[in-house]
Chain A
């Protein structure tokens, strides 16, 4: 089987599993599990946004949560002012995308190097966090929506069917919507990456100077990638605000940013399915750890195991040191070498793979 047909099989498999998941889950499991799975799906969209920006675009963005939070806040504020969810949903995509474009313009056209880029995105996230956090007073409001500062905005009205204010989407509908959105995002990104644009951004990731000499403007392509990533993260934020009917500044926070990075690094940079797997795995782990929360016990080990940052920290260090490529690419490599050694691989010379970064 050559790489192309393997690719198609993989794509088909994701489609079948995804649709089966979409259709079967609400019929099989209890509503609370559906609710839990919904947030996994939403976070997986967020993971995909960074998978595009970092994994394919090569732009290390420590502040993906800024766009996520911006999307959530935009939706909440617009919803209180408008009351019908079509426009707020669009705004929740447009505002983060515009913000990403502005920030990206500063960064890419300033020709800031990779490392500084990480620090700047981090700083911007902290600025947003600090500013929103300090807007608790009643004088901070946009239209009829109070910003609420560190208290967050509670009671956000849910999405409704387009144009019909009286038909809000219920919990199960939210699951269908989130899962369908995730599948659409996945296949949309596959399509995007298979296109000319996708090839070019991967080319720029591999060797920016060479791409530039071939006549492509890396700044414009990076800016476009970054903006698409921002829009996707904003969309995920909008869904998230819907899911909990609540937003608070912590979704801008460093912990949230760290989580997104961890999903991508655990799953594997340069794949799309990897970050989804990483996201769902880590989310599940978080829930499982949270469930064991000791009730006021003083046992140090119990405290350590219930301590999400500590576990995340260990996971992040371990993956960077031991599995730097991430789970999915590593498993893929193992599978490929097994296939090669079992078949007539010894006789047939493998074509040399192009140099990978």
Chain B
């Protein structure tokens, strides 16, 4: 029984962390059709931002939840203005340029921080489930994921900003004719996606540590979550995270973490073969 409860928490945690690392990418891909291969590096920068801020005496909560998203969001806006905006509509070139950006950021952080893992210890201690102990931080990550997803839903669904963003993505010319400035909307959307990635990277930093090439560990997982999810940003991310997170955690539980990841990636390839449009191409079509 305790084992079941523990496993349930682990599965929820796997789902939450997948959703967290994917949602920034899902927004950038879903709304702008830009495949951002530097996504993993945005997560990595979020981790570094939190760690640097913490080491300068800022409270870890503020560092993770405020500093990291702001820093990475600003980086995102700069990237959009200097690179991405020249490449709209050229999907493959965007992919290549953002891959170049990813290499560049890995090289830059290696030059600045060195090729070592830095970590911050997870706050909040641990609690007991029967014979097992697990950390409270796990629950915190699950809560952050839930809050982030709810906030995005509310923002896109009910605010003027969300309406403008959705309108611009559907028909940029029409939005421009109605007085919206599409380049600004693109820049803000890209920045928002980057900020969410920064937040995710910072929140996961105490769990995984941070090193310059950590993005590689994230990028494949988040991509297949987004692609597996399909066109709808939120319901796609959630449903794909739920599927892949469960598979990953159960395979990890039965074998080893590495084969858990392999199972996740293999499941994704089979899913894309069966549902090329992703889960939301077939189910939850009217989702957001």
Contacts and interface: CB of A to CB of B under 8 A. Distances in A.
Interface stretch (A74-82, A106-114, A341-349): A106-114
B80 interface: no
Contacts of B273: 106, 110, 112
Given A122-B220, A127-B265, A254-B216, A309 B104 contact: yes
A309 B110 contact: yes
Interface string B64-96: 000000000000000000010011000111011
B178 interface: no
Interface string A78-112: 00000000000000000000000000001000111
Interface in A262-304: 265, 300, 303-304
B268 interface: yes
Nearest to B104: A313
B102 interface: yes
B96 A115 contact: no
B265 A119 contact: no
A47 to B, nearest CB: 16
A191 interface: no
Nearest to B92: A60
A64 to B, nearest CB: 14
Contact of A307 (B97, B107, B216, B265): B107
Contact of B96 (A119, A261, A314): A261
B144 interface: no
A308 interface: yes
Contact of B256 (A122, A123, A134, A316): A134
A313 B102 contact: yes
A133 B103 CA distance: 21
Contacts of B261: 130
A347 to B, nearest CB: 37
A258 interface: yes
A309 B272 CA distance: 31
A316 B227 contact: no
Query: Contact residue range for chain A?
Result: 35 or more
B111 A119 contact: no
B1 interface: no
Interface in B240-288: 256, 258-259, 261-262, 265-266, 268-269, 272-273, 276
A96 B268 CA distance: 22
B192 interface: no
A326 to B, nearest CB: 12
A123 B107 contact: no
A23 interface: no
A28 to B, nearest CB: 35
Contact of A119 (B35, B100, B103): B35
Given A123-B269, A321-B83, A258 B103 contact: yes
Majority-rule SS of A interface residues: helix
Contacts of A309: 103-104, 106-107, 110
Given A110-B276, A261-B99, A317-B97, A123 B92 contact: no
A312 interface: yes
B186 interface: no
Interface in B188-216: 216
B265 A112 contact: no
B101 A313 contact: yes
A250 to B, nearest CB: 11
A320 B100 contact: yes
A118 B261 CA distance: 19
A120 interface: yes
Interface in B215-235: 216, 220, 223-224, 227
Nearest to A309: B107
A129 B79 CA distance: 29
A118 B95 contact: yes
With most chain A CB atoms within 10 A of its CB, the pick from B101, B102, B224, B269 is B269
A145 interface: no
B105 interface: yes
B108 interface: yes
Contact of A116 (B99, B105, B227): B227
Contacts of A123: 220, 223-224, 265, 268-269
B199 to A, nearest CB: 23
Given A110-B273, A119-B223, A314 B100 contact: yes
Contacts of A134: 256, 258-259
Contact of B111 (A116, A304, A312, A318): A304
A134 B269 CA distance: 21
Nearest to A54: B92
Interface string A132-154: 01100000000000000000000
Contacts of A321: 83, 86-87, 97
22 contacts: A60-B95, A110-B273, A112-B272, A115-B35, A118-B35, A120-B272, A126-B265, A127-B265, A133-B258, A254-B216, A261-B99, A304-B111, A308-B107, A310-B108, A310-B110, A313-B105, A313-B106, A316-B97, A317-B83, A320-B97, A320-B100, A324-B93
Given A310-B103, A313-B103, 5 more contacts: A116-B227, A127-B265, A309-B106, A321-B87, A321-B97
The 10 A-B residue pairs whose C-beta atoms are closest, nearest first, are A310-B107, A313-B104, A316-B100, A313-B103, A309-B107, A317-B100, A134-B258, A303-B111, A320-B97, A309-B103
